[in-house]
């Protein structure tokens, strides 16, 4: 017969079992919550007492599945969107954008792992960050795997419905863009975010780790997960993450966590109030490393730190240039962009920004040249193609403009403004049939909810207004055709 009390011996038995099989160490303060969790599972499954339940977990073929149910009750799943905002800021500005640019260029793809994702807020914050950087996801070849041991948390994550608590750090604009209200207190994530993340059960204390055989991950987040582990388990898990990362891969831990005394394998960098960890390059043999040190006096670690610092510096300058641009101080913005490009001539967004500055200052030839640089570096740079189309249009080069808008559609078939602009150019050229077709395509896209991304490029104009404009132009063209046929 099960008694509500858990004896010291019984507590120890489960404490050891849970530690061994999940890494989670339940100290004596968790005794009460463990008792409640065990009681709930034991009564649900009809076991007689703690010992019978323990034997089932340890020895029965179905014990592993039952342990997952127990873990769902034991784990602490506290999380929220954009927890530790600096992590997402760094991810966006210093890793994702340059990394995506490079991957987009070489088509290698990006693999991100949110380990211990709980109810999904962390991986979905990554997905939103990606959409904020690019405005679209299709064709980017990015994968986000999110894993956890709590089946209950994973279930909730897949549903994607969140309370205001989870959204407490999200501003109104992002909330309206990526969520739809379910009721007063709950919001459902839109499919375009959900489709980016794949959820799976994975216990970090069990090897082998995902992708370890296949070259590994570019970015791993494992935040606020190992805080419940004992030091031996943390060391093992962190070493496994190290092995699972690609060379140059990034590793994120929680604000309150440290790798001191745990791992000396990673290269730590301080940025604002956070530490970010990088996997060191390992492609030089020890002998080569020695020679390198003797000849140059610079260790491999220092070389990497130097190039990383260069990236930090150039992205910092780029942010300043962006601010000047937003304040419409074009000469200061251009000065800063030039400083960026001196440090990093390969930064596609800096070329693009230069293009926008030139265009705003009516230097269209220079604007074209800068956009073309950006596109040469990142062929799928949607915003640069679109903007180049606009510039060509302003320069009175309609065919070149259409070509660029077609490339935008090739990258993202749901980009309504590209259809709209093509339609408008055809209309001006008197190509009535072609224009009608493109306006009709544009209306279809503006009617879809995902059209907000295109609207970002049209500043104050709403989709309703664009639809109305398309319809008016269609009427005008039809009237014109009828008159011609009379
Ligand atoms: C506090 S949440 C952290 C969520 C998110 N990473 C964040 O920082 O907001 C910790 C998560 O780690 C998960 N976890 C605990 N032990 C784990 C293990 N051995 N393997 C995988 N996940 C584990 C828990 O289920 C829980 O959802």
The CA 441 to ligand 1 mean position distance, Å, reads 45
Distance 153 CA to ligand 1 centre (A): 9
Asked if residues 255 and 84 have their Cβ atoms less than 8 Å apart, the reply is: yes
pLDDT value of residue 2: 59
Domain edge (last residue) among 236, 259, 279:
279
Pocket test of ligand 1: the residue of 112, 116, 123, 145 to mutate, having most ligand atoms within 8 Å of its CB, is 116
Contact between 78 and 148 (Cβ < 8 Å): no
Which atom of ligand 1 is nearest the CA belonging to 229? 16
> Cα–Cα distance between 353 and 370 in angstroms, integer?
8
Q: How many CB atoms lie within 10 A of CB 338?
A: 13
Please report, rounded to a whole number, the percentage of residues in the chain having pLDDT higher than 90. 64
CA distance 389 to 456: 16
Whole-number pLDDT of residue 220: 97
Which one of 249, 279, 309 terminates a domain?
A: 279
Output the pLDDT for position 297. 44
Which pTM value belongs to this model?
A: 0.71
117 within some domain: yes
Q: Give pLDDT tens digits for 300-313.
A: 455 455 556 677 78
Residue 115's H or E segment, with its range, is: strand 110-115
Does residue 455 form part of some domain? no
Q: Ligand 1 mean position to 114 CA, how many Å? A: 10
The answer to whether residue 475 scores a pLDDT higher than 70 is yes
Q: Cα 318 to chain center, whole Å?
A: 20
Other Cβ atoms closer than 10 A to 323: 13
Question: What's residue 370's pLDDT?
Answer: 96
460, burial (CB in 10 Å: exposed 0-12, middle 13-18, buried 19+): exposed
Of the pLDDT bands very low, low, confident and very high (cuts 50, 70, 90), residue 284 is: very low
**Which residues are registered as beta bridge partners of 193?**
none
pLDDT tens-digit readout, 50-59: 999 999 999 9
Q: 190 vs 107, which has greater pLDDT?
A: 190
Is residue 416 within 8 A of residue 409, CB to CB? The reply is no
Q: Across 4-8, 251-255, 415-419, which has the greatest mean pLDDT?
A: 251-255
* 47 and 129 within one domain: no
Cα 74 to ligand 1 centre (Å): 11
What pLDDT is stored for residue 291 in this prediction?
39
Closest ligand 1 atom to the C-alpha of 204? 20
pLDDT at 103 over 80: no
**Residue whose CA lies nearest to ligand 1 atom number 13:** 116
Contacts of residue 311, defined as CB under 8 A and 6 or more positions apart, other chains included, come to 94, 98, 344
The enclosing domain of 45 has a CATH number of 1.10.155
| 114: nearest Cα among 175, 202, 186 | 202
Distance in angstroms (rounded) separating the CA atoms of residues 296 and 280:
19
Residue 77 above 90 pLDDT? yes
Domain annotation covers residue 299: no
Q: Mean per-residue pLDDT for 137-145?
A: 82
In terms of residue numbers, what domain contains 45? Answer: 8-74
User: Which phi and psi angles does 297 have, rounded to 5°?
Assistant: 75, 5
Examine the domain organization and report whether 65 and 93 are in the same domain. Answer: no
**CA-CA-CA-CA torsion for 192, 193, 199, 204, nearest 10 degrees?**
150
Residues framing ligand 1 (Cβ under 6 A): 22-24, 75-79, 83, 116-118, 122, 148-150, 153, 203-205, 223-225, 254
Please state whether 272 falls in left (phi above 0), alpha (psi between -120 and 50) or beta.
Answer: left
Please report, for the chain, how many H helices and E strands are present, in that order. 22, 10
Q: What's the 3-state SS for 234-270? A: HHHHHHHHHHHEEEEEEEECCCCCCCCCCCCCEEEEE
Q: Check whether residue 195 and residue 260 sit in a common domain.
A: yes
- What atom of ligand 1 comes closest to residue 80's alpha carbon? 9
pLDDT for 430 beyond 50: yes
Q: Quick one: the chain helix, strand, coil %, rounded to 5?
A: 60, 10, 25
Kind and range of the H or E element at 221? Answer: strand 217-221
| Confidence (pLDDT) at 128 | 96
Q: Quote the CA–CA distance of 161 and 156 in Å, as a whole number.
A: 7
**C-alpha 85 to ligand 1 mean position (Å):** 18
pLDDT for the residue 293: 47
- Residue 294 in any domain: the answer is no
Q: What is the pLDDT of residue 97?
A: 77
Would you say residue 320 lies in a domain?
no
Lowest mean pLDDT among 74-83, 147-156, 289-298: 289-298
- Segment 447-460, tens digit of pLDDT: 875 445 545 565 56
For residues 44 and 169, state if they share a domain: no
Q: Is the pLDDT of residue 221 over 90?
A: yes
Per-chain mean pLDDT for the chain: 87
> Are 48 and 194 contained in the same domain?
no
Q: Do 69 and 89 have their domain in common?
A: no
State the DSSP string of 456-479.
GGGTT--HHHHHHHHHHHHHHHHH
In a domain? residue 240: yes
Entry field: residues in the chain: 486
Predicted confidence at residue 343, as pLDDT, reads 87
Identify whether the C-beta of residue 166 lies closer than 8 Å to the C-beta of residue 125.
no
Domain contains 422: no
**Residues 227, 154 share a domain:** yes
Reduce the DSSP state of residue 203 to 3 states and report it. Answer: coil
CA 440 vs CA 360, 404, 426: distances in Å: 31, 20, 13
Q: Tell which atom from ligand 1 comes closest to the C-alpha of 222.
A: 6
pLDDT of residue 292: 46
What average pLDDT does range 320-327 have in this prediction? 92
CATH of residue 158: 3.40.50.150
Q: What is the Cα gyration radius of the chain? A: 27
Which stretch, 83-97, 116-130, 373-387, has highest mean pLDDT? 116-130
Q: Nearest C-alpha to atom 5 of ligand 1 is from which residue? A: 117
Residue 54 sits in the same domain as residue 138 = no
Per residue in 353-404, pLDDT (tens digit) is 999 999 999 999 999 999 999 988 887 788 899 999 999 999 999 999 999 9
- Statement to judge: residues 108 and 242 lie in one domain: yes
Shared domain check, 106 and 251: yes
**In-domain check, residue 28:** yes
Greater confidence, 262 or 17? 17
Weakest-pLDDT range from 38-47, 191-200, 462-471: 462-471
Residue 117 and residue 12 share a domain? no
Contact (Cβ atoms closer than 8 angstroms) between residue 373 and residue 342: no
Same domain? For 27 and 158 the reply is no
For 146-188, how does the pLDDT look when each residue is reduced to its tens digit (9 = 90+)? Answer: 999 999 999 999 999 999 999 999 999 999 999 999 999 999 9
User: How many domains does the chain fold into?
Assistant: 2
Residue that is last in its domain, among 214, 244, 279:
279
Cα-based angle 10, 12, 18 (whole degrees, multiple of 5): 105
Q: Is the pLDDT of residue 245 over 60?
A: yes
């Amino acid at each position: 017969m099960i008694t509500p009390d858990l004896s010291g011996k019984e507590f120890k038995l489960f404490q050891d079992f849970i530690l061994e099989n999940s890494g989670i160490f339940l100290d004596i303060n968790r005794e009460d919550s463990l008792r409640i969790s065990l009681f709930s599972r034991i009564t649900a499954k009809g076991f007689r007492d703690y010992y019978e339940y323990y034997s089932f977990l340890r020895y029965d073929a179905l014990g592993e599945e039952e342990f997952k149910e127990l873990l769902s009750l034991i784990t602490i799943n506290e999380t929220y969107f954009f927890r530790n905002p600096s992590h997402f800021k760094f991810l966006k500005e210093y890793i994702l954008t340059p990394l995506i640019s490079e991957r987009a260029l070489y088509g290698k793809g990006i693999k991100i792992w949110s380990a211990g994702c709980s109810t999904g807020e962390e991986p979905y914050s990554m997905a939103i960050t990606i959409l904020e950087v690019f405005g679209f996801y299709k064709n980017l070849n990015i994968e986000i795997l999110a894993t956890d041991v709590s089946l209950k948390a994973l279930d909730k994550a897949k549903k994607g419905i969140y309370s205001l608590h989870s959204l407490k750090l999200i501003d109104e604009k992002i909330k309206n863009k990526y969520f739809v209200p379910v009721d007063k207190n709950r919001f459902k994530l839109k499919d375009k975010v959900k489709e980016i993340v794949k959820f799976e059960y994975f216990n970090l204390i069990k090897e082998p780790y995902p992708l370890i055989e296949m070259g590994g991950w570019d970015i791993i987040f494992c935040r606020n997960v190992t805080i419940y582990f004992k030091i031996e388990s943390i060391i093992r898990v962190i070493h496994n993450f190290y092995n699972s990362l690609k060379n140059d891969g990034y590793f994120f831990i929680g604000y309150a966590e440290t790798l001191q005394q745990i791992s000396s394998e990673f290269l730590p960098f301080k940025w604002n109030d956070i530490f970010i960890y990088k996997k060191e390059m390992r492609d030089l043999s020890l002998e080569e490393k020695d020679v390198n040190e003797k000849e140059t006096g610079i260790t491999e670690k220092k070389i990497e730190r130097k190039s990383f610092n260069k990236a930090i510096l150039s992205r910092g300058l780029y942010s300043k240039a962006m601010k000047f641009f937003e304040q419409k101080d074009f000469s200061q913005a251009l000065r800063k962009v030039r400083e960026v490009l001196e440090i990093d001539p390969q930064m596609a967004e800096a070329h693009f920004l230069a293009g926008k500055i030139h265009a705003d200052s009516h230097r269209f030839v220079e604007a074209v040249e800068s956009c073309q640089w950006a596109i040469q570096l990142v062929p799928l740079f949607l915003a640069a193609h679109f903007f180049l189309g606009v510039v060509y249009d302003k320069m009175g080069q309609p065919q070149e403009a259409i070509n660029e808008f077609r490339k935008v559609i090739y990258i993202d078939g749901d980009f309504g403004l590209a259809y709209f602009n093509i339609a408008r150019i055809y209309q001006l050229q008197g190509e009535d049939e072609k224009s009608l077709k493109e306006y009709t395509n544009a209306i279809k896209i503006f009617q879809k909810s995902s059209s907000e991304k295109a609207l970002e490029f049209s500043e104050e104009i709403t989709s309703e207004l664009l639809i109305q404009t398309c319809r008016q132009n269609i009427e005008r063209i039809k009237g014109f055709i009828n008159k011609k046929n009379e």
